[in-house]
Structure 1
Amino acid sequence: MMLSLENATDINITSGPTTPYFYTFLDAKKRKVVEIVMDYVVIFGISVIGVVTNTLVILVYTKQGFRESVAVSMTTISLWDLIKCIAGIMNTFSGILSLFDPVAAQSWQNISTAVFNYLISFSSYVTSVMAAYVAVERCLCVTIPLKVKWLLTPRVTLISCVVISIVVFGAFAVMFGIYDIVWTWNASLNATVAIYRKSDFYVSNEVPLFAYYNLSGILWPLAAFLVILVATIIIVVKLREGSKFRVGTQTSTFSKQGEHYSNSKKSGYQDTHVQKHLKRDRQVVKMLLVIIIIYIASLAPRIANYLAKYFVYDFYFLRRHHYLFEFVTYGVLFADSSNGAVNFFVFYTMSSSFRTTFRAMACASKSSPSFST
């Protein structure tokens, strides 16, 4: 992802309100080590895993059919996570390409910074808002279970997912136009390579554009996080109230029917049913807590990064803290990539229906006849 700025004439910087020199953050050798480890090992590996796991999630929900609204919303999240992970692979592909063609690898690296880096970010915003929608959906299922079936049909959920995707992604799509890709001579490589530089659109609208972009980058994920948090609190409270109600109801029922059972049988039967409901409730709460922890871990670095960009002008690409911003961006990309790759493991561990369908598909795949020539 790193763009070499050792020779300022190679990048054709357009001067802004600040001077165009760059503060050094680590030396060139250490930055290269960080680049290799994070880009070509960690993020690339996680992205590959994410492509596989999200493909499996989509296949499982497709196999189950889309009779439930949650299947539609979770499939949409997996589709965006799949896009994010593919973009992660493309963003780090220059590492493999450098083994065969260093010049092409340098061009690919610079182009991917201006294209795929943003695609990863914008996909993350969409999935965070989609996660908030799912949290609201689950909240309604707990608070108004008798009405939610006709209120949130799979068709309504599909329309909502499409609208969320278009609105959120469209809110950031303007940022794809801030850089121009140009070809210039690179003396160190003795070849012509592609670089990215500020576009005329960037220069003409820099102040309002980045004010809008930074605020959007803070408000969208922050709003999503708050919605997830509030919905989860409501769900936890409602489930606890329901558990207490069931315990009280079942205790009353067993006391009325006590003459038909011995005390030992009554106690054992009561405990079995109560524990069954409590276990299911705890499982729902546990899954919600896992989801919110995952999104806290993935959204917190991005929100912090955008807050820093909002208050420190030079903390961005092609500005004085270019190198530091790249280093911090690796942490953000790591969080985004990890979040995009864990869905399968969460669903498999905590959803019995998902686990059953996946195992059935795996067994069917193993038992399918093989043909030999």
Structure 2
Amino acid sequence: MEMSDPDVNETELMTSSPPAQFVPFISDEEWAIISVVNFTFICGLGCLTGMVTNVINIVVFAKQGFHDSMNVSLMGLAVSDLGSLVTTFWMSICFNPLFIAADLPIDVKEVMNTLGGRPHIIFARITSFITAFITFERCLCISLPLKVKMIITPRRTKIIIIFIFILMFSYPPLYVGNRLEWVFDSSRNATILTVEFNEEVIKIEPVAFFLYGVTFSLLSFVFVICCTIVLVVKLNTKTKWRQATAAKGASAPEGVGVKDKKVVKMVTFISSIFIVCFGPSSLMFVVMALEPRFRLNGAFTNLYMTLWSASFILETVNSSVNMFVYLTMSSKYRAVFMKTFLGREEK
């Protein structure tokens, strides 16, 4: 009896074995559960709460008036946060299994992205730039306390906030290359509302993504970090200097007043929340630019959507909690809030 060569058998076994298949990090079943939990429940409830708090913010700032540049900026921030939450809430509805099972005559995925995903990116960038402007204005306040009111006036602030909205809403893919249309779907044997794309969007999308997604996101995020660090360092330095001057019995020269210090602390807190909540999304835009497979229809689709769902939760938190920060750290806001919504004067 001839003995078989083990090396030959091993070689044959290796060459005849099926090729390794790509195993996704997150299966379709796992993503189905994550999408319901993160988008439908957490984001949905968070958006409802945030929409109420931002409507309250808008009412309070409107009653305070716009004679102060900070009120103008915070009003712009409340409007952009409200827009971000409304678009995210629409996405949470689209991920609801009951909504999907209703078999409505729409292409849920495409319509969700066009009416929810893209506008959300725009409002998120507006929030980023307004937060950056607010921190910059406070940096000037603490660095040049005697000149800041001449540099940053309410009128100039209004122009800057309006310009930010116009700049972000000039996002080309929102208007060029795709549009909502009623199209017959043979697989469903029905006419459905979907998004029709053409070659223009294929040319514009990469440039718009790099500019509005990567560049603007990183620019505003890094700028907020730098301004926040400057605020903290400058405030601590001036506080120690004034305390040392007071301990020597000398009168401290005019500098940052008590009211401005409170505003600086409030802005620092808002900026810190922004840094924590927008850090993941800024990082993911960079990953998307470096790794083409990390996209909606790429090889890592489920991982991509899972990480973005977590990022949307953080952005929802950022857009929802400002009212509680104002109530805690701004006596002026608290007084108007209590008088308007509780009908009593703050003691």
TM (norm. structure 2) is 0.80
- 1:200 maps onto 2:202 in alignment: no
Q: Distance in 1 between matches of 2:259 and 2:157?
A: 25
The answer to whether structure 1 residue 336 and structure 2 residue 332 are counterparts is no
The one-letter code of the counterpart of 1:227 is F
Which region of structure 1 is more displaced relative to structure 2, 70-79 or 352-361?
A: 352-361
Residue 232 of structure 1 is matched in structure 2 by: 228
Distance change (3 Å), C-alpha of 1:327 and 1:193: farther
Task: Give the aligned residue type for 1:291.
Answer: I
Write the mapping of 1:34-183 to structure 2, written as runs, cut at 5 A.
34-94=34-94, 98=98, 102-104=102-104, 107-170=107-170, 172-175=171-174, 177=176, 179=178, 181=180, 183=183
Q: CA contact under 8 A between 2:221 and 2:279: conserved in structure 1?
A: no
For the residues of structure 2 that align with 1:131 and 1:191, how far apart are their CA atoms? 46
1:353 counterpart (332, 335, 339): 332
Distance 1:27 1:96, change over 3 A: closer
Partner of 1:316: helix, strand, or coil? coil
Tell me whether 1:306 sits opposite 2:285 in the alignment. yes
Q: For each residue in 1:284-331, what CA deviation from the matched residue of structure 2 results, as whole angstroms up to 9, or x when unmatched? A: 565344223212222211122111111111222233333332222212
In the alignment, the residues of structure 2 paired with residue 320 and residue 180 of structure 1 have an alpha-carbon distance, to the nearest angstrom, of 27
The answer to whether the Cα contact below 8 Å between 2:105 and 2:193 also exists between their aligned partners in 1 is: no
Name the SS for the 1:47 alignment partner.
helix
Kindly provide the CA deviation profile for residues 144-183 of structure 1, in whole angstroms up to 9, marking residues without a partner as x.
222222222211110111112212332x343554555563
Alignment of 1:262-301 (within 5 A): 286-301=265-280
Cα-to-partner distance string for 1:192-225 (whole Å, 9 max, x where unaligned):
544456532234x17xx41551354222122222
Q: 1:59 to 1:359 in 2, by over 3 A?
A: same
Instruction: Report the CA distance between 1:113 and its aligned residue.
Output: 2.1
Paired residue total: 320
> Which amino acid in the other structure matches residue 228 of structure 2?
T
Which residue in the other structure is 1:321 paired with?
A: 300
Work out whether residues 105 and 190 of structure 2, in 8 Å CA contact, stay in contact via their aligned partners in 1.
no
Q: Give 3-state SS (helix, strand or coil) of 2:343's partner.
A: helix
CA contact (8 A) 1:214 1:307 kept: no
1:243 matches 2:222: no
Cα shift at 1:132 = 0.7
Return the letter of the residue paired with 2:248.
S
* Aligned-pair identity (%): 24
Alpha-carbon RMSD across the aligned residues, in angstroms, is 3.2
State the one-letter code of the partner of 2:114.
A
- Displacement after TM superposition at 1:106 (Å): 5.8
* AA aligned opposite 2:224: I
1:194/1:26 Cα in 2 relative to 1: closer, same or farther (>3 Å)?
Answer: farther
C-alpha separation in 2, matches of 1:360 and 1:142: 31
For residues 92 and 80 of structure 1, the distance between their equivalents in structure 2, rounded to whole angstroms, comes to 18
Residue 44 of structure 1: CA displacement? 1.0
**Deviations 1:12-62, CA, capped at 9 Å, x for gaps:** xxxxxxxxxx97554433222222212211111111111101111111111
Q: Say if 2:138 and 2:264, in contact at 8 Å, map to a contact too.
A: no
User: Unaligned stretches of 5+ in structure 2?
Assistant: 1-21
| Aligned-residue offset at 1:236 | 2.7
Contact 1:179 1:196 in 2 (8 A): yes
Instruction: Identify which range, 158-167 or 293-302, moves more after superposition.
Output: 293-302
TM-score with structure 1 length normalisation? 0.75
- What is the one-letter code of the residue matched to 2:217? P
* 1:110-152 alpha-carbon deviations (Å, 9 max, x no partner): 3112331111111111111111100111111112222222222
Contact 1:103 1:191 in 2 (8 A): no
Single out whichever of 285-294 and 338-347 deviates more from structure 2.
285-294
Deviates more, 1:54-63 or 1:314-323: 314-323
Q: C-alpha distance in 2, partners of 1:134/1:319?
A: 37
Question: Which amino acid letter does the alignment assign opposite residue 200 of structure 1?
Answer: E
Summarize the alignment of residues 10-49 of structure 1 with structure 2, pairs less than 5 Å apart. Answer: 24=24, 26-49=26-49
| C-alpha contact (below 8 Å) 2:35/2:95 kept by paired residues | no
- Secondary structure, counterpart of 2:185 in structure 1: strand
Q: Which secondary structure does the structure 2 equivalent of 1:104 belong to?
A: coil
